[in-house]
Structure 1
Amino acid sequence: MIRGSDTQFAGLADFILDPALTVPEEALKFASTLLIDTLGVAAGAVSLDVAGIARDFAGDFHAAGGPENAAPMLFDGRHVSLPGAAWALATQIDNLDGHDGYNPTKGHIGVAVVPALFAFAARHPDLTGREALTALAISYEVAARAGIALHATVSDYHTSGAWNALGVAALGCRLERTDPEILRQALGIAEYQGPRSQMMREIDNPTMLHDGSGIGAFVGCSATLLAQRGFQGAPAITAEAPEVARYWQDLGRTWTVTRNYIKPYPVCRWAHAALDALHQLMQQQGMNAESVAQIQVRTFAEAARLFADMPDTTSQAQYSLHFALATMLLHGRIGPEHLTGAALRDPGVAALIPRITASEDTRHSERFPAGRWSDVEVTLTDGQVLCSGDVHARGGPEAPMSDQEVRQKLHHMAGATLPVDRVDALWAMRDGLLEPGRKFTQLARLVIPAP
């Protein structure tokens, strides 16, 4: 039972577990958009080496003890345990850095909670689309505040898996219809076992670990299932400590899910402002790779630390600044095909990298993490100098992508994995899930191959 004095947790439990909770239609609609966008990224990542490793590993080592505890892996079809299915998909998405994020958290939510939604939905075949979206929106709200509270109370910059696990646990407990005490234990387990991994360590040495969201999804799912069996966890201090109360006070009134950004490019968003600035100059001035002698990027400190050389791996390519800019200059866009295989040995891109320099500008650093700002100065071969001015990364509420752009991104991401009619059907489900009585299984069938 919740003790009478525990009003801080009681409010959180009411928000997560109340079956009559009303989520604003705007929040539900954007949650659906984020869901479909995340599935597009997942489809685009299917053929990555790390995705194959993750799915095979889950198949070999995360087997379910019975069908009631199993879930199918998306874009694969094999059944594994619920935590294993969530881990495999979250790892797959995390390694194609095109998924949504929320600036104040300095990280990502959908990458963990979307895989968890599909994993738990396997136990609830009657789940409606609106019920699924409600749980998803709730999980975004919990994860966002957990991330902000964590970074406000510790000195290190942790990966998203350190805090998005709490959003997963919230989603799991809502779908499983647990009582508040189980929720409390689940949140405590998720926080305690979440990876306190250092983000800048990964930036300086890009690997398949990426943003820690694979293990965040695994821990959050496991926390729910453990708590249901009576496993106890230490209180989640990012949710219950008195010093973080202010980050939770607007829960249920302010819907941060609507302020998540959607990425136009599948690389670290720290590079996006510079990419947008360069692309803007390309469109306005008609310049191309042959006409550029030098590119000077001024950006915030974290972006200036992105990988600066020709990458050897997809991980390095996605945490790059110089390679991403060179790819944009040469090809006019960045898609999954530019981040793997022969693209990592593209001589045209390699020739452009030495022409690019990047440095921190304090005015950009001072606006991080609330904003992602950069400016670009391009010197042409004829000596002309072009300046972009300060540019904020597109995709967030400051400069949102249009529905047409999001749909086009879905086709670019998923087109190599799914036929066009299947991609169109996915997009149609963005609105379809909001229809009364529409079953969530109708979306699941589009991304889970028949056995």
Structure 2
Amino acid sequence: MLTPNHSLSAAFVSDLLALHAALNETALNKARDCLLDFLGAALAGAHETRASHEAILSGLGTECTATSVLGLGARADLLTAGLLNGMSAHHLELDDGHRYGMVHPGATVIAALLPLAQARAVDDGSLLRAIVVGYEAAIRLAMAVQPGMKHRGYHATGTCGAIGAAMSAGVLLGQDSAQLHTTLCVAATQAAGLLQVIREGSDLKPFNAGQAALHGLLAATMGNVGFTGPADVFGGAQGLLKVLSDTPQPGRLADIGREAPAIHGIYVKPYAACRHCHPAIEATLVLRNRERLDIAEVDSVQVHTYGLAVHLHDHRRVQNTADARMSTPYSVAAALRFGAADMAQFNPKAMADPELQRVLDSVEVVEDPALTAEVPRERAARLTITLRDGRSLQQTVPLPKGEPENPLTPSELLDKFRSLAAHVGLPPERAAEIIAFISGERPGIAQLYATL
């Protein structure tokens, strides 16, 4: 914990090392769940982006092929593998996240750790412990700088995700406190990622996750070499917390070790859209199923929700699939039209559906200050559907499915993975084999990664 003679950065490193030494089986089992969820999202993302990722591999012209790249059947150097793994994991908006930190830790932390674990042939326990530490670092830092960081235009998955990836890689390499401090300093000066890349039809958002994984691996490499960083890269006059936010809360970093590991607070996504769209999607599906609605009956839709779910997510004109995943109006219209919000509802064929387009034009998203006031305790949406016969239907969702207070069941988590595995063409027996490795029934997760 922080003392008068202890810098914020040094306390952060010390607390992470203490956490690493004290982890119990409950936390490690949670890391197994996160790893399985990551693999499903990353394999499906790699399947959808194969052509562009193969072009990146070709363009970089790397001759070092030490590690595997998820879902491509290819090998690359350590940094490129981390980059592409992170991009794949975040591509379909199906990776995990944390509502208090507004960060996607798995897409950076696990993306970096898997190729490093393969290269170093580490055991399963070491990998799982590093995952928990990486989630802790990314989430606690994000909680210390949000929401000010988001208001400044930074993407937490790029900024805080880089710190999480670096700290997890550092502990996997067995770094002592001095080495891990240098790793932190290098990661902090690389931490980057702009929310501008989700605007105007841009599909660069996944790059923020990929570059964070890459930078985390690079930072850990630098930490091993023996460079010296500043005493307090977090709390200094021009330290990371002040750069990222006008309203930092450094005290949130002191919660490491005082509260349950932050990995227990993550959400798992049941829908293939930005998490801010999920309460409205869920409310739509509840009404559609309960009232047996046909989209032809719908005249207009209004979504009242919290402020952060309006800004950047209220657009009705969607320019491509990436833009559609960021749009609450599109997500609601797709859920009404198809009764689902899976990958199949966010593709060009679905986007061109005439009835979906008709309802999309009628969806209005507005902020409700009362709902904004409840964030982050709740992330709610109140949906009102007006039918052509004049009736009005309403549904409120305070916290969508997948939050720790409203979790996916173990069987739902397995079903999500199996569905994504089937999407990429893996036979059921291969999916079962992957589940056996991740669950601990069969040891050798790093070796499994090499075959994916």
TM value normalised by structure 2 = 0.88
* 2:360 corresponds to: 353
TM-superposed deviation, 1:364: 1.6
Q: Whole-Å Cα distance in 2 between the matches of residues 270 and 293 of structure 1? A: 24
- CA deviations 1:56-111 (Å, max 9, x no partner) are 3134316255x6xx211011132212111011111122221011001111121001
Matched, 1:207 2:202: yes
- CA deviations 1:249-283 (Å, max 9, x no partner) are 22124211011000010110101001111111122
Asked if structure 1 preserves the Cα contact closer than 8 Å seen for 2:19 and 2:256, the reply is: no
Gap regions ≥5 residues in structure 1: none
CA RMSD of aligned residues (A): 2.6
- Report the 3-state secondary structure (helix = DSSP H, G, I; strand = E; otherwise coil) of the residue aligned with 2:301: strand
* 1:229 corresponds to: 225
Asked if structure 1 preserves the Cα contact closer than 8 Å seen for 2:296 and 2:355, the reply is: no
Q: 1:422 aligns with which of 426, 430, 437?
A: 430
More displaced, 136-145 or 153-162?
Answer: 153-162
Q: Percent of aligned pairs with the same residue?
A: 23
More displaced, 352-361 or 234-243?
Answer: 234-243
Q: 1:345 to 1:238 in 2, by over 3 A?
A: farther
* 1:29 corresponds to: 29
Asked if structure 1 preserves the Cα contact closer than 8 Å seen for 2:418 and 2:428, the reply is: yes
Q: Whole-Å Cα distance in 1 between the matches of residues 120 and 138 of structure 2? A: 23
TM-superposed deviation, 1:296: 1.1
Q: Whole-Å Cα distance in 2 between the matches of residues 245 and 382 of structure 1? A: 54
Q: Counterparts of 1:142-221 in structure 2 under 5 Å?
A: 142-151=137-146, 156-159=152-155, 160-195=157-192, 197-199=193-195, 201-210=196-205, 212-221=208-217
Report how many residues are paired.
Answer: 435
More displaced, 342-351 or 101-110?
Answer: 342-351
* 1:274 corresponds to: 280
TM-superposed deviation, 1:232: 4.1
For 2:294, the aligned partner's letter is: N
TM-superposed deviation, 1:206: 4.2
Q: 2:291 aligns with which of 282, 285, 290?
A: 285
Q: 1:387 to 1:153 in 2, by over 3 A?
A: closer
Asked if structure 1 preserves the Cα contact closer than 8 Å seen for 2:68 and 2:450, the reply is: no
Matched, 1:249 2:254: yes
TM-superposed deviation, 1:366: 1.7
- Report the 3-state secondary structure (helix = DSSP H, G, I; strand = E; otherwise coil) of the residue aligned with 1:293: strand
* 1:40 corresponds to: 40
TM-superposed deviation, 1:24: 2.6
- Report the 3-state secondary structure (helix = DSSP H, G, I; strand = E; otherwise coil) of the residue aligned with 1:359: strand
* 2:86 corresponds to: 90
Q: Whole-Å Cα distance in 2 between the matches of residues 52 and 115 of structure 1? A: 19
Gap regions ≥5 residues in structure 2: 242-247
Q: Whole-Å Cα distance in 2 between the matches of residues 407 and 59 of structure 1? A: 35
For 1:110, the aligned partner's letter is: G
Q: Whole-Å Cα distance in 2 between the matches of residues 344 and 62 of structure 1? A: 36
* 1:13 corresponds to: 13
- Report the 3-state secondary structure (helix = DSSP H, G, I; strand = E; otherwise coil) of the residue aligned with 1:330: helix
Matched, 1:394 2:389: no
Asked if structure 1 preserves the Cα contact closer than 8 Å seen for 2:197 and 2:203, the reply is: no
Q: Whole-Å Cα distance in 1 between the matches of residues 44 and 200 of structure 2? A: 24
Q: 2:381 aligns with which of 365, 374, 378?
A: 374
- Report the 3-state secondary structure (helix = DSSP H, G, I; strand = E; otherwise coil) of the residue aligned with 1:392: coil
- CA deviations 1:161-193 (Å, max 9, x no partner) are 111111111111111112222211111111111
Q: Whole-Å Cα distance in 1 between the matches of residues 204 and 306 of structure 2? A: 24
Matched, 1:311 2:299: no
For 1:404, the aligned partner's letter is: S
Q: Whole-Å Cα distance in 2 between the matches of residues 10 and 398 of structure 1? A: 33
Asked if structure 1 preserves the Cα contact closer than 8 Å seen for 2:118 and 2:450, the reply is: no
Q: 1:186 to 1:97 in 2, by over 3 A?
A: same
* 1:138 corresponds to: 133
TM value normalised by structure 1 = 0.89
Q: 1:111 aligns with which of 89, 107, 110?
A: 107
Q: 1:20 to 1:321 in 2, by over 3 A?
A: closer
- CA deviations 1:414-451 (Å, max 9, x no partner) are 21212222222233334226x7xx2223431452xxxx
Matched, 1:52 2:51: yes
